[in-house]
Amino acid sequence: MSSKMKVIQSIEEMVALTKSDLWSGTIGFVPTMGALHRGHISLAEYARKECDIVVMSIYLNPTQFGPNEDLDNYPKTLKADLDKAEKAGVDYVFTPTSKMMYPDGFKSWVNVEGITDILCGAKRPNHFRGVTTIVSKLMNIVSPDLMYMGEKDYQQIAVLNTMISDLNFRTVIRPCPIIRESDNLAMSSRNAYLNEDERIRARVLYQSLQKARTLYKQGTADPEILRKSMQELIQLHAGKIDYIEFVDRNTLDKKETADDNTRVIIAVFIGSTRLIDNMDLV
């Protein structure tokens, strides 16, 4: 594709497009909630390299937010988002409304058990049910071959891979590396909530992950010792730890002893902003 990017505002129009003659080759899909940053853009660029058609969705999905979370404050920047998407080579942007996605009487949910009860799932009940449901809907509407997702939401990728495999969806997830600011803070739409002081303190997430990796490479394999050293560093910068977990990078099962398949996943409040990050130990 090379012509101008097209914005598609209804489910019917999106489905009709996928059934039209325009739809051929490999379809790449980048689901987003808008507030696009370089992390999102990198996903679109990966898709552009690999696919014939690149679709991005911009939809702030209410069902993955808890009642006391930041749905109402989540940054909304549609005009800038569309400019960025077009520059990244996106062919179609799908921008449905909640009235379309969750009409009155909506009552069907996709749920993945177990793997959604740990890490972020333990702290955000129903979050992953909202994610698996909206992604099922989007996959059915867009019918992509490949779906591009950032590893910052590491558990999200594991949950969706489980769902795709269990329910025989045809889409394959392409996990893409975390994109970071120059000081290594992971890109996130929620970084916009940080004031100047918090923005500096937020560097401690990456620093604490690096510290665990360094200690592991030096021979420390006890997750409790690794966790403790991360805790000390995070608390030094007045971060409030939500969780620090050492898990198998594929199953997300907790590790008794860290090894080369271990990924450390963290959630930390800096002020009132909850940030997440993660890293392999090798």
Sheet hosting strand 53-58, strand order edge to edge: 6-8, 92-94, 53-58, 27-32, 146-150, 172-176
Question: Does 136 help bind a second copy (rule: CB under 8 A)?
Answer: yes
Segment lying near a second copy (by CB under 8 A), choices 82-90, 162-170, 231-239, 267-275: 162-170
Task: Give the one residue of 42, 64, 132, 273 binding a second copy; rule: CB under 8 A.
Answer: 132
Radius of gyration of the chain (CA): 19
Q: Is the dihedral of CA 134, 191, 277, 82 positive or negative?
A: positive
Question: Does 149 help bind a second copy (rule: CB under 8 A)?
Answer: no
Angstrom distance (rounded) from CA 134 to CA 147: 14
Question: How many residues line the site for a second copy (CB under 8 A)?
Answer: 26
Annotation marks residue 237 as catalytic? no
Task: Give the one residue of 72, 104, 113, 260 binding a second copy; rule: CB under 8 A.
Answer: 113
C-alpha closest to that of 65 among 98, 37, 30, 89 = 98
- Residue 221, both tokens: 């394999």
Question: Does 122 help bind a second copy (rule: CB under 8 A)?
Answer: no
Provide the mask over 77-106, with x wherever binding to a second copy is found by CB under 8 A and - wherever it is not.
Answer: -----------------------------x
Nearer to a second copy, 79 or 170 (CB): 170
Nearer to a second copy, 110 or 185 (CB): 110
The one catalytic residue among 37, 40, 127, 237: 40
Task: Give the one residue of 3, 24, 108, 182 binding a second copy; rule: CB under 8 A.
Answer: 108
| HSE toward the beta carbon, residue 276, CA cutoff 13 A | 18
Cα separations in angstroms, 127 against 34, 57, 66, 112, 268: 18, 19, 7, 11, 17
Q: What angle do CA 254, 257, 258 make, to 5 degrees?
A: 85
Task: Give the one residue of 4, 79, 99, 107 binding a second copy; rule: CB under 8 A.
Answer: 107
Angstrom distance (rounded) from CA 262 to CA 250: 9
Question: Does 170 help bind a second copy (rule: CB under 8 A)?
Answer: yes
Nearer to a second copy, 23 or 109 (CB): 109
Question: Which stretches of the chain bind a second copy, using CB under 8 A?
Answer: 11, 15, 106-115, 132-133, 136-137, 140-141, 143, 162-163, 166-170
